[in-house]
Amino acid sequence: MEFVESDDGSPFRRPPALDDRIWRHPSEVGSEAGVAPGGPRLVPQHTVWLIAVAAALGASVLSTGLLISMGAVRTGTHEATRTAATLPGPPATAVEPFVAIAERVRPAITQIKVTRGAERGSGSGVVFREDGHVLTNAHVIDGATSIQVALSSGRELSGRVVGSDPVTDTAVVKIDGGPFTVAELGTAADLKVGQAAIAIGSPLALVGGPSVTAGVVSALHRSVKTRADTYLFDMIQTDAPISPGSSGGALVDGKGRIIAVTTAIAVSEVGAEGLGFATPIDVARSIGDELITTGKATHAWIGIEGRDLDGAVAHDLSLDGGVMVSAVRADEPAATAGVAARDVILSVDGRPVLTMGALVVILRAHRPGDVVTIDVLRDRQRLSRAVILAERPADP
């Protein structure tokens, strides 16, 4: 490359011709690759590219460092943006099942408006027969002088009480017309703690159709004390929000099947605790069918008063649990069979009885007149007693 003089007399380099070897790939020249004949060794093209890339990266790092030092870039924001850009979003199927469940179940959920003299109240109900039979809670319709049932469409119909069972807090209301949209009834027999639970009801007497809330099955086999100082046994606990007015609504599983009828919420001096309780659909459906057929529900009865065995006593007796008999009603089945106060009930027909709730649930599977074998522990000796079950009195 030659030097020439400029107009002002200073030397400068003449640009190389376009066909100079510096513009060619080393394979195009006959001399050693990358070396011009008689000239200095030329830098290979791929090395030039590496140098350029390295320089660009260095400049980028320097610029980023400056931006961070000035507070123009937040690393957390930058990382979140990168992640959102590179990771796919949640698939549509993660949301759609809840929409499909709501669309399928909501038409079967009603609002039940109750008048008690000058007072008015409301609850919810589940249409479980096409002819207009609606499952709800006994406390929703207790003392009602008139009932109006509002369908999810907003249409209102007069309703009448078919029957009520305070023991399970279950009732059936009938509306005329139809056929009505019914909900698919499932079972609570195979529920697992942690599985999805969707509550659908009509809270706070709000207009516009049923509300949908979601959560999980929080616990099973709960015993819940009511305001009337009675107990509801074998209840399903959920964290799906259940507000006043939702009583009698549906608790639905992840496949859109009704697994329970929402019944109660946990309340303390500071208000709702975020826990709801529901009657297993197996119990509610069985009682509902019986109320429709006979107008009343019957329950098997052994005629005792009892409580869960104290933990310290259970440990002393080497037991996992049991029911301590605190009193035996005279002339009732247990007394006739020789069961006595202070006996510990261990099993019924070979099924373990660990709590009072478990005893009630086992007896629900029987009818008055059935004979069951009850194993008890008395003075550390195991005894068996054959008990002929009776019908539970209306006011035990």
Give the model confidence (pLDDT) of 47-101 as tens digits. 444 444 444 444 444 343 333 232 333 333 333 333 233 334 444 444 568 899 9
If asked whether residues 202 and 285 sit together in one domain, one would say: yes
Helix (H, G, I), strand (E, B) or coil at 167: coil
Q: How far, in Å, CA of 221 to CA of 231, rounded?
A: 12
Residue 273 pLDDT: 61
Question: Considering only CA atoms, which of 109, 140, 283 is closest in space to residue 213?
Answer: 109
Supply angle C-alpha 347, 350, 356, rounded to 5.
25
How far are the Cα atoms of 333, 345, 348, 352 from residue 377, in angstroms, in the given order?
18, 7, 13, 13
* Least confident residue range of 45-54, 75-84, 195-204, 245-254: 75-84
If asked whether residues 330 and 366 sit together in one domain, one would say: yes
Which of 259, 281, 297 marks a domain boundary? Answer: 297
CATH number at residue 117: 2.40.10.120
Residue 388 pLDDT: 97
For residue 74, is it within any domain? Answer: no
31-44, pLDDT tens digit by residue? 444 444 444 444 45
If asked whether residues 248 and 357 sit together in one domain, one would say: no
- Beta carbons of 153 and 178 less than 8 angstroms apart: no
Mean pLDDT, residues 173-187? 94
Question: What is the pLDDT confidence band of residue 267, given thresholds at 50, 70 and 90?
Answer: low
If asked whether residues 304 and 232 sit together in one domain, one would say: no
For residue 146, is it within any domain? Answer: yes
Residues spanned by the domain of 213 = 91-297
Which of 297, 312, 338 marks a domain boundary? Answer: 297
Q: What is the DSSP letter of 366?
A: S
Beta bridge partners of 133: 174
If asked whether residues 279 and 329 sit together in one domain, one would say: no
Residue 70 pLDDT: 29
Question: What is the pLDDT confidence band of residue 275, given thresholds at 50, 70 and 90?
Answer: confident
If asked whether residues 340 and 257 sit together in one domain, one would say: no
Q: How far, in Å, CA of 242 to CA of 276, rounded?
A: 6
CATH number at residue 317: 2.30.42.10
For residue 184, is it within any domain? Answer: yes
For residue 40, is it within any domain? Answer: no
Which of 262, 297, 332 marks a domain boundary? Answer: 297
Residue 35 pLDDT: 44
If asked whether residues 149 and 247 sit together in one domain, one would say: yes
If asked whether residues 293 and 174 sit together in one domain, one would say: yes
Residue 14 pLDDT: 52
Alpha helices in 126-272 (DSSP H): 138-141
**Is the per-residue pLDDT at 242 higher than 50?**
yes
For residue 10, is it within any domain? Answer: no
If asked whether residues 293 and 304 sit together in one domain, one would say: no
How far are the Cα atoms of 51, 250, 373 from residue 267, in angstroms, in the given order?
71, 20, 39
Residue 72 pLDDT: 30
What is the reported pTM?
A: 0.72
* Least confident residue range of 1-15, 134-148, 156-170: 1-15
If asked whether residues 201 and 326 sit together in one domain, one would say: no
If asked whether residues 375 and 282 sit together in one domain, one would say: no
For residue 360, is it within any domain? Answer: yes
Residue 232 pLDDT: 93
Q: How far, in Å, CA of 69 to CA of 73, rounded?
A: 8
What is the enclosing helix (H) or strand (E) of 280?
Answer: strand 271-280
If asked whether residues 184 and 96 sit together in one domain, one would say: yes
For residue 333, is it within any domain? Answer: yes
**Is the per-residue pLDDT at 9 higher than 60?**
no
Catalytically active residues, by annotation: 139, 169, 247
Total structural domains within the chain: 2
Percent with pLDDT over 70 in the chain:
74
Q: What is the CA radius of gyration of the chain?
A: 39
Residue 48 pLDDT: 43
For residue 153, is it within any domain? Answer: yes
Question: What is the pLDDT confidence band of residue 346, given thresholds at 50, 70 and 90?
Answer: very high
Side-chain half-sphere exposure of 264, counting CA atoms within 13 A: 26
